[in-house]
Chains A and B, each alone.
Chain A
Amino acid sequence: MASKPKYNNTVCDPSFAAQVRERSGVEIERCYQCMTCTLGCDANFAMDVAPNQIVRLTQIGMKEAVLTSSSIWVCTSCEACVTRCPNEINIPHLMDCLHQIALEEETPVKEPAVPVFHRAFMAPVRQFGRQFEVLMTGLFILKARKFSLRDMLTNAKLGFGMFTRGKLKFGPHRIKGTKAMNDIFQKTLGGRGT
């Protein structure tokens, strides 16, 4: 029996790669690491793992490294990467899929404000069929525990400006086809979270 190696060996998990592939429909195996995605990425400066590395780590089933990265939350889905990719790998779709898996598996999130905002954003949409900014902002502040006075003042100033221009209502606007919309949510999420 050999002695333990000096470095930490990591076990690859082919089933994670298969799960992501099936769930997202993104053919991640096609990637040959040309790095075109990372070169064109506007958000790369704020990421801890470059987009091409997210694809590679997913390919070889390095689940933890992918799900605990900040990159999956920092991606703005601008789609510059997929537009340029020689293999048509849809990284924003891949990122969406990784969000969902991370939230379902309650992985510690590197950028906690992002999923909180995501939920705060979607909650009024699910209920009324349209965004209700006051509720969204309130939910976000409560859930994200962003009680900084300075932030609140900035938000209030912005809100006032929007209100005077008729961009912000103090009551929700409910659409007519809420049932149809609920069916869509049901169909796409299939009872899964947000």
Chain B
Amino acid sequence: MEQSGKDKRIGVFVCHCGLNVAQSVDVEKVVQEISSYPGVVHAEHYQYMCSEPGQELIRKAIKDHNLNAVINANCSPSLHEKTFRGLVQAEGLNPYHQEVANIREHCSWPHANDRQTATRKAIAIIKATIDRLKLNMALTPAVINLNKKVLVIGGGVAGMQAALRIANGGYEVVLVESSPSIGGHAAQLSGTFPTLDRPACLVAPMMAEVAAHPRIRLYAYADIEEVSGYVGNFAVKIRAKATCVDETKCTNCGRCFEVCPVAVPSEFDRGLSDRKAIYRPFAQAVPFRPVIDVLSCAHFSDDGCSACEQVCSENAISYDQKDTVIEEELGAIVVATGYDLITRGIAPEYSDDPDIIDGMQLERLLSPTGPTGGVVKRPSDGKVPKEVVFIQCVGSRDQEHGKSYCSRVCCLYVAKQSLLYKRSIPEGQAYVFYMDIRSDVKGTEEFVQNVVEKGRTMYLRGRVSKVFRDGDKLKVWGVDTLTGKSIEIAADMVVLATAMVPRTDAKDLARVLNIIADQNGFFTEAHLKLRPVDTLTSGIYLAGTAQWPKDIPDTIASASGAASRILSLFSREELLHDPAIAYVDEELCVGCGQCVSICAYKAITLDEKQKLASVNEAICEGCGACAATCPSKAMKHKNWTPKQFFNIVDVFTKEYE
């Protein structure tokens, strides 16, 4: 596979880059010296090689001198390697027979005031690049099959949005949701800031569209069990949990809910109401069907209750239903697993009391579909609370006890909740203890001001040291740091704006998918600014709050971004992968497996029987870690072989010895 380099007819094109190169590098002298270098059949210089006239010079020289390899001495390869490789390819050359010699960033700029040194170094850089190029192999990109089907993990706002955008773009989507219904946390909300839309107006239509979409296959009450493969060719195992209800027979009459003797706290109402062991999570659930929660169902625990089976006239209950594992083959994955709220235990000073609730619980109390029908009543005795204290930043911006990051949505949902509370109970008074008000989303600064001015919510800048029961009331001890005054409030109810955290199983999923989760468990993007919805594993994209705390507009934007990345990926018939990657010299490989453990992309597999490693061309990113690690030098990087490195070193050591 190694090249001798004798067959290469090399042309060298030195660019002035205006004065960027030419002011410190004597380009005339460079061309003169390089012209006689072994292997070089043509050399010239021009003011702007990347311009159309410059490119025409290269085209003409390739034809006139029958060149089959090209060196472009100019700026960094990150700028114009693509330009010139495209050019030589169009002229019938292999693009990997072109290399850039960087004489701007590496030479003319750092030696701007020393023309002699710069010129000498430019010549050395070009010579070294020539000696490397001589051994370059002609490469062709690996062609990867592209399965144009997408897996979306999570059926909240982010997952639904990504699924709908991709499905409307014409591709099949498999949507997997772990709970019995899609809709996510957004379906639990009472309203949304700053417009106060009801989720019924936002989320319910999305849920219906997902359910009815011909190109979306929905697996609710299902988990991701295994993911293998790579971009274009993922294989996924989905475990659909047993619902113990035959969907084809069930008529959703609801008699089973009435007779079920087991009551457990409702997840949807966040423990403020009870649900049965056989249940539908909420009235608008999608899919609209009952499921049996086998962990709480009395049929499975003790004396084999069968109340629901007896009452079901359609014989739809089947206790012996088993989980099924579905295998799907897909080309891309969107991770939209969403968030949870941090547990209350991180703030013991806000003691355990039924009337101290978290923000999501108040959402349920404010919601018309909630346990109190939208009239706020406190959980302990059902009394209408006349004084409600909100405490912001519980668990967030607290690196000692909670999370160091800002949870981003609390300032605004607390403002919204205090306004909805005031609408529900006009004579009520809301107090908010805050640290800073962060209202940077369009229209929200005005929204918060409106809550303060018109809603008459009293904002107190400071923390609360203690909340404790005092008879019928909850005593709140806090401070207003703007006046330095200690504050005591006798409240009926206290609402904690607890921090948004990733789902507890996010790190496990990261392991299954081979993507990165940060120290908080949020999935990490490939580049915060330039690739905010990509992961470092190609073909896997992020959407919504699984990445960091986001409000609904940000979630929709990121989900749409992930969908658009996939639609552009699918716009090609097949995938081409850069062939400048690792390969195994099978005669040298002893199968020690060190390369397997060093590879960050899981691109190398080891045949234990034959003691042989092999590189998956679709996954390898050409980082070179394996080549550097391999003790027997069997693992090599195409066009970056040790011989090529030594050639480069030889030129420089000869030049500067």
Residues of chain A touching chain B, judged by Cβ–Cβ distance below 8 Å, are: 1-2, 5, 7-12, 14, 17-18, 27, 29-30, 33, 53, 56-57, 59-62, 65
- Contact B470 A1, beta carbon cutoff 8 Å: yes
- Lowest 7 CB-CB distances: which A-B pairs, in order? A9-B488, A29-B453, A29-B452, A7-B486, A9-B486, A2-B468, A56-B482
- Contact A5 B477, beta carbon cutoff 8 Å: yes
Digitize B454-494: 1 where CB-to-A-CB distance is under 8 Å, 0 elsewhere: 00101010000110101000010100101101111110000
Closest CB-CB distance, B495 to chain A, in whole Å?
17
* Given A1-B470, A7-B486, A8-B486: A60 touches B477 (CB 8 Å cut-off): no
- Contact A65 B485, beta carbon cutoff 8 Å: yes
Bound CA span A27–B450, Å: 12
In the complex, what residue of chain B is closest to A7 when comparing beta carbons?
B486
Contacts of B94 in A (CB 8 A): none
In the complex, what residue of chain B is closest to A9 when comparing beta carbons?
B488
Say if the beta carbon of B273 comes within 8 Å of chain A.
no
- Contact B485 A10, beta carbon cutoff 8 Å: yes
* Given A5-B477, A30-B453: A60 touches B429 (CB 8 Å cut-off): no
Say if the beta carbon of B632 comes within 8 Å of chain A.
no
Q: Is the interface of B mostly helix, strand, loop or mixed?
A: strand
Contacts of A1 in B (CB 8 A): 468, 470
Contacts of B483 in A (CB 8 A): 53, 56-57, 60, 62, 65
- Contact B482 A10, beta carbon cutoff 8 Å: no
- Contact B485 A14, beta carbon cutoff 8 Å: no
Bound CA span A65–B482, Å: 14
Closest CB-CB distance, A46 to chain B, in whole Å?
20
7 residue pairs from A and B, CB less than 8 Å apart: A9-B487, A9-B488, A53-B483, A57-B483, A60-B480, A61-B458, A62-B485
Closest CB-CB distance, B350 to chain A, in whole Å?
13
In the complex, what residue of chain A is closest to B468 when comparing beta carbons?
A2
Question: Counting chain B CB atoms within 10 Å of each CB, which of A17, A33, A60 scores highest?
Answer: A60
Closest CB-CB distance, B353 to chain A, in whole Å?
13
Say if the beta carbon of B228 comes within 8 Å of chain A.
no
The one of A7, A10, A17 that contacts B458, using a Cβ cutoff of 8 Å: A17
- Contact A9 B453, beta carbon cutoff 8 Å: no
Question: Counting chain B CB atoms within 10 Å of each CB, which of A7, A18, A29, A30 scores highest?
Answer: A29
Closest CB-CB distance, B466 to chain A, in whole Å?
7
Closest CB-CB distance, A81 to chain B, in whole Å?
17
Contacts of B424 in A (CB 8 A): none
* Given A7-B486, A9-B486, A14-B429: A2 touches B456 (CB 8 Å cut-off): no
The one of A14, A17, A30, A57 that contacts B449, using a Cβ cutoff of 8 Å: A30
Bound CA span A162–B154, Å: 88
- Contact B470 A9, beta carbon cutoff 8 Å: no
Closest CB-CB distance, A171 to chain B, in whole Å?
51
In the complex, what residue of chain A is closest to B437 when comparing beta carbons?
A32
Question: Counting chain A CB atoms within 10 Å of each CB, which of B449, B465, B475, B482 scores highest?
Answer: B482
In the complex, what residue of chain B is closest to A33 when comparing beta carbons?
B482
- Contact B477 A9, beta carbon cutoff 8 Å: yes
* Given A27-B453, A60-B480: A10 touches B487 (CB 8 Å cut-off): yes
Bound CA span A108–B460, Å: 28
Contacts of A29 in B (CB 8 A): 452-453, 456
Digitize B214-246: 1 where CB-to-A-CB distance is under 8 Å, 0 elsewhere: 000000000000000000000000000000000
Digitize B556-596: 1 where CB-to-A-CB distance is under 8 Å, 0 elsewhere: 00000000000000000000000000000000000000000
Contacts of A62 in B (CB 8 A): 483, 485
- Contact A12 B486, beta carbon cutoff 8 Å: no
* Given A2-B466, A60-B460: A11 touches B489 (CB 8 Å cut-off): yes
- Contact A12 B489, beta carbon cutoff 8 Å: yes
Bound CA span A53–B453, Å: 18
Bound CA span A9–B476, Å: 10
- Contact B458 A12, beta carbon cutoff 8 Å: yes
Contacts of B431 in A (CB 8 A): 12
Contacts of B486 in A (CB 8 A): 5, 7-10
Question: Counting chain B CB atoms within 10 Å of each CB, which of A9, A10, A11, A14 scores highest?
Answer: A9
In the complex, given contacts A12-B458, A53-B483, what are 15 additional A-B residue pairs having Cβ atoms less than 8 angstroms apart? Answer: A1-B468, A2-B466, A2-B468, A9-B487, A10-B486, A11-B487, A11-B490, A12-B460, A14-B456, A29-B453, A56-B482, A56-B483, A57-B485, A60-B485, A62-B483
* Given A9-B486, A9-B488, A60-B487: A14 touches B458 (CB 8 Å cut-off): yes
Closest CB-CB distance, B473 to chain A, in whole Å?
12
Contacts of B452 in A (CB 8 A): 29-30
Bound CA span A5–B483, Å: 19
In the complex, what residue of chain B is closest to A62 when comparing beta carbons?
B485
In the complex, what residue of chain A is closest to B351 when comparing beta carbons?
A2
Bound CA span A62–B483, Å: 10
Contacts of B460 in A (CB 8 A): 12, 60
In the complex, what residue of chain A is closest to B453 when comparing beta carbons?
A29
Closest CB-CB distance, B469 to chain A, in whole Å?
8
Contacts of A2 in B (CB 8 A): 466, 468, 475
Contacts of B485 in A (CB 8 A): 10, 57, 60, 62, 65
Closest CB-CB distance, B455 to chain A, in whole Å?
9
Closest CB-CB distance, A189 to chain B, in whole Å?
28
In the complex, what residue of chain A is closest to B455 when comparing beta carbons?
A29
- Contact A60 B470, beta carbon cutoff 8 Å: no
Contacts of B465 in A (CB 8 A): 5
Contacts of A65 in B (CB 8 A): 483, 485
- Contact B458 A60, beta carbon cutoff 8 Å: yes
Closest CB-CB distance, B488 to chain A, in whole Å?
3
Question: Counting chain A CB atoms within 10 Å of each CB, which of B431, B460, B477, B488 scores highest?
Answer: B488
Quick one: which of B261-314 are within 8 Å of A by CB? none
Contacts of A14 in B (CB 8 A): 429, 456, 458
Closest CB-CB distance, B654 to chain A, in whole Å?
68
Closest CB-CB distance, B461 to chain A, in whole Å?
8
Contacts of B449 in A (CB 8 A): 30
Bound CA span A44–B303, Å: 80
- Contact B488 A11, beta carbon cutoff 8 Å: yes
Question: Counting chain B CB atoms within 10 Å of each CB, which of A12, A53, A59 scores highest?
Answer: A12
- Contact B453 A12, beta carbon cutoff 8 Å: no
Bound CA span A9–B456, Å: 22
Bound CA span A61–B456, Å: 12
Closest CB-CB distance, B479 to chain A, in whole Å?
9
